[in-house]
Amino acid sequence: MPLRYQLMLLFLLFAIVPSVGLGLLVNWTVERVVERQVEGHTMQLIGKVNEALNSKMENLQNMTYLIAFDPDIDAFMNDKMPQNDDAGIEPMNMDTNAETEQNRLYGIKQTLQGFTTLYPEIAGIVLVNANGDYISNEMYPRAEQSLIQENWYQKASANPGIFMVLGQPKERNLTTHVRYKDDEIVSVARSITDEASGRVRGVIMIDLKLRSVSQAARNVTLGKSGYVMVTDEEGQSVYKPEHPLIEHIPTDWFPSGESGTFTADTEGGRLLFMYQSSTFTGWRTVGVFPTRDSISEVRQIQFYVVSFVFVVCLFGLSASLWFSRSIAQPIFRLMSYMRRAETGNLRPGRWSNRADEIGMLGNSYNRMLAQIRQLISLNELRERQKRDAEMRSLQEHIKPHFLYNTLDTIHWMARKEGAEDVSGMVGALSRLFRIGLSKGQDYIPLHSEIEHMTSYMQIQQTRYRDRLQYTLNIPEELRDLFVLKLLLQPLIENAIYHGIKGRRGPGHIRVEARLEHNRLLLTVQDNGAGMSNERLAEMQQLLEAPLASLEASSPGMTGKSYGMLNVQARLRLSFGDEYGIVLESQEGEGTSVTIIHPLMREVPPTKQINNEERQESEWENS
């Protein structure tokens, strides 16, 4: 896989995987915690509804007692009222106590009206005594049939004195004037008994408006998208919303116990039921919720988490794209530049001005290319010079033997003839050649170099006689050091031809060797004509780039400085830029040329040009 995609993948992995993981964790935790809280809360609410219903029913129970306490009603229950089918308003009787009866009935009705005045949720109250007589402000029978036969009366009298929640009336022979339908009311009843005999004297029935029940249940807003319904003992719903999720909850679904939670599969899907039942009313308050629906708060949190993950994904993607590009692109470019370099094109690459490692890499690469280019050109020059030298030495190989033999012969002949000076000169010439060739070796001991130089000097002295004098100041301990060969002779030659020759009277050349800072300094100093400042500057400039100067050197100037440039070039090539020639001159005073040469106690393993650095370190160590 390309580096870019690897980086991208890495970034994405580190940006998205943790955020997705975090999201999942948060979601899971929140769902669990909130679910548990909401369920607890919902259970409490259901309990509150249950309590409210209980207290409503207790209120009604108290009301039946209050009604029964009324002495007039007590009398009615004791059957002391005139029997009449139509108790709505008593027709006038001619009995003596008719007036009081009338007033008593009026009083009872006022009492009952008092209850409905204070409790508007009561739809109606009916009192029935054992004879089937009844008193009510609101209700009257539909048909001429004794109310004692009614189901609710039987039920109430079967449980003497006990408050009964009858639930919604069904097909009873009673109607309210205000036309409350059967499914709009819930009725409760209590029978009144005789303390002594326990005989049922009558029944008080109260109709409660169902809306007061439903209001309590509907008022509950649950965390989940469910609702509260109320069922009676048989599982028939007392109250349910308009569009229930389930019409009827079978009683055997409910586990035993006053309250609890269970789930069941129904037509409307899997439902969660939470219920509390009341022993007083026998009713169950049931919360019904679809299980698949999560709580809206949880959904909200989920939404935020997903949004967060999405934003992180988007940012992560963009960031990883950007990062991977900013890293991979320069590497890719470096790669293509390297390919180009492999094909031999060493042009430096274009890099942006970045200050980081990547920018440094690019700069280093460019520098490296430059260096390689320089080394290559250096190498070429060396090879060429080497070839030239080899060619020259091949050409000259034949000559030396011939020349030696000839010179030897001349030497001996001159001695035989007694021409001592000729013999000495020829001997010097012969030494000069021998050392100059020195079997093709580049490095020779300093004493050989000195010998070479003195041979040359001897020849020149023969020529110039007294005009040329020289002094050698070579400490004995330095004589065994190795130096690059043929360093001094060209400088001496320069000193003679450009210094001494241009001077009037005898000239003097000093050759010195000394150690300084672990380097060998060889100085050739003359007291000749010296150089003008322009000439000195020009020479110094040429010496700065000896190779280029040699290449470009015109035939005209060869005579003047070829020797020095040659020495300089060889020093530089062999030892690097820190070595070479230091030129000092004063017009009319003389010239001093100092060779700065590394300290070498033995012949270095030459041949390889690239080994410069190793050599350098070795020389420094020594």
Residues in contact with another protein by the rule CB under 8 A: 86, 88-89, 91-92, 106, 113-114, 116-118, 120, 137-138, 140, 142, 175-180, 209, 211, 215, 218-219, 221, 225, 227, 241-243, 293, 296, 299, 303, 306-307, 310, 313-314, 317, 321
Closer to another protein by CB, 50 or 137: give it: 137
CB of 311 or CB of 515, closer to another protein: 311
Element (H, E) at 507: strand 507-516
Most distant CA pair in the chain: distance in Å?
206
3-state helix, strand, coil split of the chain in percent (to 5) is: 55, 20, 25
Comparing CB distances to another protein, the nearer of 65 and 303 is: 303
Nearer to another protein, 235 or 244 (CB): 244
Q: Quick check: helix, strand or coil at residue 343?
A: coil
Rounded to whole angstroms, the Cα distance separating 9 from 94 reads 108
Per the structure block, which two tokens stand in for 31?
Answer: 């769902």
**Residue 210 and residue 228: Cα distance in Å, rounded?**
14
Residue 181 or 399 with smaller CB distance to another protein: 181
C-alpha closest to that of 492 among 504, 509, 513: 509
> By C-alpha distance, which of 528, 511, 365, 535 is closest to 449?
511
124 vs 499 by CB, closer to another protein: 124
- Minimal distance in Å, beta carbon 253 to another protein? 23
Q: What is the dihedral of CA 129, 130, 134, 136, to 10 degrees?
A: 40
Do residues 518 and 599 touch, judged by C-beta distance below 8 A?
A: yes
Least distance (Å) between residue 180 CB and another protein: 7
Single-letter amino acid code for the residue at 578: E
Nearer to another protein, 161 or 241 (CB): 241
Residue showing tokens 């280019």: 373
Element (H, E) at 71: helix 71-77
| Torsion angle, alpha carbons of 406, 412, 416, 418, to 10 | 100
Per residue, the 3-state secondary structure of 113-129, as one string, reads HHHHHHCCCEEEEEEEE
- Smallest separation, CB 47 to another protein (Å): 19
Q: Which is nearer to another protein, 227 or 470 (CB)?
A: 227
Residue 83 structure tokens? 């029997």
> Based on CB atoms, which residue is closest to another protein, 316 or 604?
316
Bridge partner residues of 184 (DSSP): none
Phi, psi of 103 (to 5 degrees): -65, -35
Write down the least CB distance from residue 310 to another protein, Å.
5
Write the DSSP string, 533-547: HHHHHHHHHHHHSHH
Q: State the minimum distance, in angstroms, from the CB of residue 46 to another protein.
A: 16
- Give ∠ CA 576-581-586 in degrees, rounded to 5: 155
Q: Cβ closer to another protein: 114 or 506?
A: 114
Nearest distance from C-beta of residue 120 to another protein, angstroms: 4
Going by C-alpha positions, the residue among 170, 202, 176 that lies closest to residue 189 is 202
Kindly state the smallest distance separating residue 64's Cβ from another protein, in Å. Answer: 19
Residue 12 DSSP class: H
What are the tokens at 310? 């999405």
Which residue, 242 or 613, has its beta carbon nearer to another protein? 242
Q: How far is CA 115 from CA 67, 162, 298, in A?
A: 9, 21, 47
Minimum distance from CB of 175 to another protein (Å)?
4
Closer by beta carbon to another protein, 104 or else 570: 104
Q: How far is the CB of 178 from another protein (least distance, A)?
A: 4
> 546 and 513 in contact (C-beta within 8 Å)?
no
Q: Which two tokens stand for residue 374?
A: 């320089």
Smallest gap from Cβ 38 to another protein, in A, equals 14
Residue 577: how many other CB atoms lie within 10 Å: 8
| Closest CB 254 distance from another protein, rounded Å | 25
Least distance in angstroms from the C-beta of 139 to another protein: 9
